[in-house]
Structure 1
């Protein structure tokens, strides 16, 4: 009887011990999740930098409620605060290959043109498309480029604003891989806009000339006598879908054009080579749409 009682006590103790151990394991398995702003900060910094400056970071990001925009963490403001306080270094010891993923839910053709123009404006003339994917919700264009520093998100945002675009979110996989979610719902090309009765002179360019023709009906283009221009003119709608192309296989000193319906942008080039355009071209727009 006594032996049975002892065994019962030991068994009960064993059950209690297992419950306590199980509870301890559950407590240990609970991980306190950081708030969204802190998660974003950690994503932009290496662990050592964050750990060494944790108290300072908490101070400069107080209150964290100031780092939200439209119910999302304002990634650009977070990066600006880190840079202003010397916590985010974008430079490398030597040139490195960088991958940039650009994401949007807008028109892929228009998006690639906007990002291409933006990269060129930032001095990135040589980059390679490594991937482009599209699903029901998003289009992603990925490029590789070589640089001595990672693309500065603040300068990128400034250039995108010229095209009425906005960076919605930024993610950093590592120092050489960044991802940008960009809103292009109000986007437009950052090009000269033609208006009725206001002539425009364009100097020689190494690249095709783009113009906003959304406000005019007709256009006279006069080419300098120093040019040997074989007109190549393309019309596009607001999303850069091609509407019409004009090709002329003889040299033109002038050409008169009627703007197609729904045309918003015009690209002016040469049928053979831009070396044929050695001097200025003057545009005389007429009529209002």
Structure 2
């Protein structure tokens, strides 16, 4: 029965051809029945919600939220599933961006339920226990801060939502450095990501009080690994001559980030 419901709902989503119908796909049945006249009034100007050949689902969700129709509170703690889809691209880059957004919304303890890469792109489904579905409007804004765009969203059964993300202009959250910059990263609780797209050389030095065992990875813009530097002995500093396609450097510790309890100093040289 559940499978039939999801198939029917997906079919409705594919053929919904008005802003009113699209809005209904973000609401529970009870809300649609109780407020159908208000929904019709809010989305009467169909063209206002058009975006290219489709609809601006973030704008539709925003209007529903502003008018108190987007009910996200759940009756009890339960498992919520979010499915994220993206077209062609690097799955690791996509997963990194989704992870950053979820963490920024306070959902650091999610579980990966399903991941699939095929000719249509990449799908990643995650789950977590909560008493409220994450705000889709706020989630879209967090993706937008990283250069990604939520191009479609759909409410499925219960606490299940599906998002389609355009990652063509996306970037990950990282410390941006320019030539001549000297930056201190104090007491990192996660590996430090540095945007090195503007520089040719980077020196990483442990701050007094740290006892660093270097774990440094250089990536291109799609998070393909270009080089790795790992030390099993204490590392005072690492000097990197960056390749022309280097975009990010991830700084961690070979064993535990506790070894970087005081942090590191970054020195950037050579304008690119």
TM-score if structure 1 supplies the norm length?
A: 0.85
| Aligned-residue offset at 1:94 | 2.0
Q: Is the 8 A contact 2:18 2:46 kept in 1?
A: no
Q: Indicate whether 1:263 and 2:263 are aligned.
A: no
- Structure 2 counterpart of 1:157: 140
Q: Indicate whether 1:212 and 2:201 are aligned.
A: no
Give secondary structure in 1 for the equivalent of 2:165: strand
Give secondary structure in 1 for the equivalent of 2:156: strand
For structure 1, the residue ranges without an aligned partner over 5 or more in a row are: 1-32
Q: 1: distance between equivalents of 2:157 and 2:63?
A: 19
| Aligned-residue offset at 1:251 | 1.2
Q: Is the 8 A contact 2:20 2:39 kept in 1?
A: no
Q: 1: distance between equivalents of 2:257 and 2:30?
A: 52
Q: Is the 8 A contact 1:162 1:190 kept in 2?
A: no
Per-residue deviation, residues 77-119 of structure 1 (Å, max 9, x unmatched): 1111111111121011222101110000132111001101111
Question: Which of 26, 41, 64 lines up with 1:59 in the alignment?
Answer: 41
- Structure 2 counterpart of 1:173: 156
- Structure 1 counterpart of 2:77: 95
State which structure, 1 or 2, has the greater radius of gyration over its C-alpha atoms.
1
Per mean C-alpha deviation after superposition, the further-off stretch among 135-144 and 36-45 is 36-45
Question: Which of 84, 105, 119 lines up with 1:136 in the alignment?
Answer: 119
TM-score if structure 2 supplies the norm length?
A: 0.91
- After TM superposition, the structure 1 = structure 2 runs for residues 1-289 of structure 1, keeping only pairs within 5 Å, are 35-105=17-87, 106-289=89-272
Q: Is the 8 A contact 1:235 1:260 kept in 2?
A: no
Aligned length: 257
Q: Is the 8 A contact 2:201 2:270 kept in 1?
A: yes
Q: RMSD in angstroms over aligned alpha carbons?
A: 1.4
Instruction: Classify 1:34/1:115 alpha carbon distance in 2 versus 1 (closer, same or farther; 3 Å).
Output: closer
Q: 1: distance between equivalents of 2:85 and 2:65?
A: 24
Stretches (4+) displaced over 6 A: none
Instruction: Classify 1:34/1:116 alpha carbon distance in 2 versus 1 (closer, same or farther; 3 Å).
Output: closer
| Aligned-residue offset at 1:34 | 6.5
Q: 1: distance between equivalents of 2:232 and 2:27?
A: 57
Q: Is the 8 A contact 1:150 1:175 kept in 2?
A: no
Q: 2: distance between equivalents of 1:34 and 1:283?
A: 52
Per mean C-alpha deviation after superposition, the further-off stretch among 256-265 and 232-241 is 256-265
Q: Is the 8 A contact 2:200 2:244 kept in 1?
A: no
Q: 2: distance between equivalents of 1:195 and 1:108?
A: 28
For structure 2, the residue ranges without an aligned partner over 5 or more in a row are: 1-14
